[in-house]
């Protein structure tokens, strides 16, 4: 019997806290040992991967992924199943995803929503996975189910300040935050002012301005900044952590930064869309712009991107997720083109299914820019997501004996010729990528999930099997602010 199941030698190991030349030994699905390069020579393993100097990092954790959701927002259905979405993930170096278990307004039990989502995911995933509860109707009986959620290993939920079918009023948000505080649940908030943007949309429609590009006009940065500031206020009143999802606007980021400086437990997420796309991408000929319709919309330009990069570099953003939310472009029934009619040959932007695919391109695009220190890159794409959502150090780290053997091995720098992203080379279930033609300089060469090589780019490609991915029961966040001893007290105001 050999001593290890797998060894990855000659890599430059990068974690959120450390960079060094180590060989990694794996046994029974766990990281067993990190030893200085060369020191494992002569030790047996069933399989050895020579990283040839390439980076070896903890597998990516993508904490914002929409798969197989019912049409909650109007027309449109997620193009990726658990199978195709998680397959796409491993080909881009992501080994854990947290998707959403969506409660539509008519559902009166969260546990049944959870059970249904389990059925979709079970035996279908190439990555390990968990769910955030997506909450649209916080009745008292629903709020009473929060302790049951925790028993089921769910410690986070998401709410919306926009979208008619999902939008909560401020008093409802306070109800949710208070209940979440009691059970140490982290609340994710989609912060856009739904009333303003609906009103703006009506104004545009009255003037006949309905093509895809007006999606951006209808939701200017102010709409996001106001809602972000309001979400921070609501969190401060209840004294409980929130994570603002997919922040696109530097001015919203500034509010977040100021709140953090005041010591509030405000966490924030951004996505590649807000580093690489601009509103010009919505203004392509014909209906093409619909491919990049997501909310918040891509912003004005370079300066906005710079503000978001700065926030990633300086710690304002806790995580960088994909917000993978795929709709087929050439699908007149359930995809982007479902809004096209004889009367509206360029559709009406208010009904375009909102979202873009990006689960596979997240890590390579951002690493290729070389704008983040390597450890910072690992922190925002893996480690912090694991910490924030109660998966650390099982995920997001390479701690011997503690961490699952989830790794991504990159090509040695300079080995790959630069090339351009092409949708035909991706593995998702969508007929386009918003990042078509963008230059990348590196790509995951191997992806390892719990000790098993699931992606080998130069070999057969996908080696993993659906069903190897397991459900992860999550505990409380290990980032600050989540567990409160004292009860909330209205008299302290
Ligand atoms: C950090 O980034 C945020 C968000 O972009 C920005 O508002 C803030 O000024 C930056 N702080 C420093 C010290 O650079
Ligand atoms: Zn989302």
DSSP per-residue letters across 308-342: HHHHHHTTS-SEE---B----SS-TTTSGGGG--S
Which ligand does the CA of 315 lie closest to? 1
Span 369-384, pLDDT tens digits: 999 999 999 999 999 9
Question: What is the residue with the minimal CA distance to atom 8 of ligand 1?
Answer: 254
Average pLDDT estimate for 459-477: 96
Q: Ligand 1 pocket test: which of 225, 228, 232, 254 has the largest number of ligand atoms within 8 Å of its C-beta?
A: 254
> d(Cα 472, Cα 368) in Å, to the nearest integer?
30
Tell the residue nearest (CA) to atom 13 of ligand 1. Answer: 314
> Ligand 2 mean position to 42 CA, how many Å?
48
Instruction: State in Å: Cα 364 to ligand 2 middle.
Output: 21
Q: Are 100 and 159 in contact (CB under 8 A)?
A: no
- Give dist(CA 33, CA 407) in Å, integer: 14
Nearest to 219 by CA among 195, 245, 200, 204: 200
What percent of the chain lies above the pLDDT cut of 90? 93
CA-308 nearest atom, ligand 1:
5
The CATH label, of 3.40.50.300, 3.30.43.10, 2.60.120.620, 2.30.40.10, for the domain at 4-58+394-462 is 2.30.40.10
Task: Look up residue 467 and give its two tokens.
Answer: 């069903």
Element (H, E) at 233: helix 221-238
- Which residue in this structure is represented by tokens 């980076």? 55
Nearest ligand to the CA of 98 is: 2
Residue with the smallest CA separation from ligand 1 atom 2 is 311
Q: For the chain, give me the number of helices (H) and strands (E)? A: 14, 19
Residues 23-64 have pLDDT tens digits of 999 999 999 999 999 999 889 999 999 999 999 999 999 999
pLDDT at 282: 97
Q: Whose CA is nearest to atom 6 of ligand 1?
A: 254
Nearest CA to ligand 1 atom 1: 311
Which of 251, 257, 376 for a ligand 1 pocket mutation test, highest count of atoms within 8 Å of Cβ?
A: 257
Which ligand has the shortest distance to the CA of 69?
A: 2
pLDDT at 431: 97
Best of 316, 317, 372 for a ligand 1 pocket test (most atoms within 8 Å of beta carbon): 316
| pLDDT, the chain, mean | 96
**CA of residue 2 to ligand 2 center, whole Å:** 45
**Which residues does 462 contact at the CB level (< 8 Å), separation at least 6?**
87, 90, 91, 126, 427, 454, 455
pLDDT of residue 57: 98
Beta-ladder partners of 164: none
Running DSSP on this structure, what letter comes out for residue 260? H
| Ligand 2 centroid – CA 285 distance (Å) | 27
Q: Does residue 386 surpass a pLDDT of 70?
A: yes
Residue 392 CA to residue 318 CA, distance in Å, equals 14
317 alpha carbon, closest ligand: 1
The confidence score (pLDDT) of residue 1 equals 55
CA of 408 to the centre of ligand 2 (A): 25
Cα–Cα distance for residue pair 251/258, rounded to 1 Å:
11
pLDDT range class, residue 483, cuts 50, 70, 90: confident
Return the ligand number nearest the Cα of 305: 1
**The two three-digit tokens of residue 56, written as one number:** 């070896």
Residues 235-258 have pLDDT tens digits of 999 999 999 999 999 999 999 999
How does residue 162 score in pLDDT terms, banded at 50, 70 and 90?
very high
Q: How far is CA 162 from the centre of its chain?
A: 19
Helix, strand, coil % over all residues of the chain, rounded to 5: 30, 20, 45
Residue 266 has pLDDT above 60, yes or no: yes
Q: Which residues are placed with Cβ below 5 angstroms of ligand 2, an ion?
A: 323
Higher pLDDT, 76 or 391: 391
* pLDDT of 70: 79
Tell how far the Cα of 296 is from the centroid of ligand 2, in angstroms: 10
Strand partners, 60: 94
Which residue puts its alpha carbon closest to atom 14 of ligand 1?
A: 314
Cα–Cα distance, 95 to 75 (Å, whole number): 30
Other CB atoms within a 10 A radius of the CB of residue 167 amount to 18
Q: Which atom of ligand 1 is nearest to the CA of 317?
A: 4
What pLDDT score does 462 carry?
98
Residue 221 CA, ligand 1 centroid: distance in Å: 17
Sequence-distant (6+) residues with CB within 8 A of 245 are 64, 158, 188, 189, 190, 191, 269, 321, 323
Rounded to the nearest angstrom, the distance between the alpha carbon of 414 and the centre of ligand 2 is: 34
> What distance in Å separates the CA atoms of residue 58 and residue 400, rounded to the nearest whole number?
12
Q: Please state which of the four CATH numbers 3.40.50.1860, 3.30.70.100, 3.40.640.10, 3.20.20.140 is assigned to the domain occupying 60-375.
A: 3.20.20.140
Which residues does 194 contact at the CB level (< 8 Å), separation at least 6? Answer: 160, 161, 162, 163, 164, 167
CA of 188 to the centre of ligand 2 (A): 10
- Beta pairing class for 439-440 and 419-420: antiparallel
Short-list 131, 129, 96, CA closest to 114: 131
Residue 408 CA, ligand 1 centroid: distance in Å: 30
For position 165, what pLDDT does the model report? 84
Phi and psi at 376, nearest 5°, equal: -65, -40
Residue whose CA lies nearest to ligand 1 atom number 4:
311
**Start-end of CATH 2.30.40.10 domains in the chain:** 4-58+394-462
Please enumerate in sequence order all residues whose Cβ is within 8 A of that of 481, keeping only pairs 6 or more positions apart, or say none: 240, 241, 264, 265
Alpha helices in 352-447 (DSSP H): 362-369, 374-378, 384-388
Is 157 in a helix, a strand, or coil?
A: strand
Give nearest CA residue, ligand 1 atom 12. Answer: 314
Tell me what pLDDT residue 136 has: 93
Residue 211 has, within 13 A of its CA and on its CB side, a CA count of: 14
Protein residue with its CA nearest to atom 7 in ligand 1: 254
How much is the average pLDDT of 334-348? 95
**Closest-approaching ligand to the CA atom of 158:** 2
The answer to whether residues 239 and 264 touch, using CB atoms and an 8 Å cutoff, is no
DSSP letter string, 182-226: HTTPEEEEE---HHHHHHHHHHHHHTT--STTHHHHHS-HHHHHH
Specify the 3-state DSSP secondary structure of 117. Answer: helix
d(CA 391, CA 462): 25
- Ligand 2 centroid to Cα of residue 69, in Å, is 11
pLDDT confidence band for 223 (50 / 70 / 90): very high
Q: Residue 274 CA: which ligand is closest?
A: 1
Q: Is 355 left (phi over 0), alpha (psi -120 to 50) or beta?
A: left
Residues in contact with ligand 1 (CB, 6 Å cut-off): 250, 253-254, 257, 307, 310-311, 314, 316
Domain with CATH 3.20.20.140 in the chain: 60-375
28 CA to centre of ligand 2 in angstroms: 34
pLDDT at 480: 81
pLDDT of residue 144: 96
End-to-end CA distance of the chain: 66
pLDDT at 74: 67
């Amino acid at each position: 019997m050999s001593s290890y199941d797998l060894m990855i030698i000659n890599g430059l190991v990068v974690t959120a806290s450390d960079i060094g030349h180590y060989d990694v030994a794996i046994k029974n699905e766990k990281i067993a040992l990190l030893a200085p390069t060369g020191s494992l020579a002569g030790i047996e393993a069933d399989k050895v991967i020579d990283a040839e100097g390439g980076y070896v990092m903890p597998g990516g954790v993508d904490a914002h992924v929409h798969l197989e959701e019912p049409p909650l927002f109007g027309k449109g259905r997620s193009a990726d199943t658990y199978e195709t979405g998680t397959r796409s993930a491993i080909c881009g170096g992501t080994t854990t995803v947290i998707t959403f278990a969506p409660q539509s307004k008519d559902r009166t039990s969260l546990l049944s929503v959870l059970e249904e989502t389990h059925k979709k995911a079970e035996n279908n995933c190439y990555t390990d996975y968990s769910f955030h509860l997506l909450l649209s109707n916080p009745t008292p009986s629903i709020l009473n189910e929060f302790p049951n959620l925790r028993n089921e290993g769910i410690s986070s939920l998401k709410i919306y300040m926009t979208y008619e079918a999902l939008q909560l009023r401020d008093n409802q948000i306070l109800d949710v935050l208070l209940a979440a505080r009691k059970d140490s649940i982290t609340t994710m908030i989609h912060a856009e002012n739904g009333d303003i943007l609906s009103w703006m949309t009506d104004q545009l429609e009255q003037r006949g301005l309905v093509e895809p590009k007006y999606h951006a006009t209808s939701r200017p940065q102010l709409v996001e900044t106001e809602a972000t500031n309001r979400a921070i206020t609501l969190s401060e009143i209840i004294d409980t952590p929130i994570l603002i999802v997919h922040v696109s606007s530097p001015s919203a980021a500034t509010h977040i930064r100021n709140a953090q400086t005041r010591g509030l437990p405000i966490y924030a997420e951004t996505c590649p869309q807000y580093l690489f796309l601009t509103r010009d991408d919505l203004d392509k000929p014909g209906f093409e712009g619909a491919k990049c319709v997501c909310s918040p919309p891509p912003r004005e330009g370079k300066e906005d991107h710079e503000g978001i990069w700065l926030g990633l570099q300086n710690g304002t953003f806790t995580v960088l997720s994909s917000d993978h939310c795929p709709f087929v472009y050439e699908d007149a029934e359930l995809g982007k083109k479902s809004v096209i009619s004889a009367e509206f040959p360029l559709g009406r932007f208010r009904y375009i299914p909102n979202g873009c695919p990006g689960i596979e391109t997240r890590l390579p695009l951002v690493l290729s820019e070389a704008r983040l220190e390597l450890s910072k890159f690992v922190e925002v794409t893996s480690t912090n997501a694991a910490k924030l959502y109660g998966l650390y150090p099982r995920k997001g780290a390479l701690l011997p004996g503690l961490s699952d053997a989830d790794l991504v091995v990159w090509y040695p720098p300079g080995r790959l010729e630069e090339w351009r992203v092409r949708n035909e080379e991706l593995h998702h279930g969508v007929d386009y990528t918003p990042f078509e033609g963008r230059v990348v300089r590196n790509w995951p060469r191997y992806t390892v999930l719990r000790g098993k090589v699931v992606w080998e780019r130069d070999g057969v490609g996908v080696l993993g099997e659906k069903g190897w991915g397991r459900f992860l029961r999550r505990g409380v966040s290990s980032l600050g602010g989540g567990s409160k001893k004292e009860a909330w007290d209205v008299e302290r105001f």
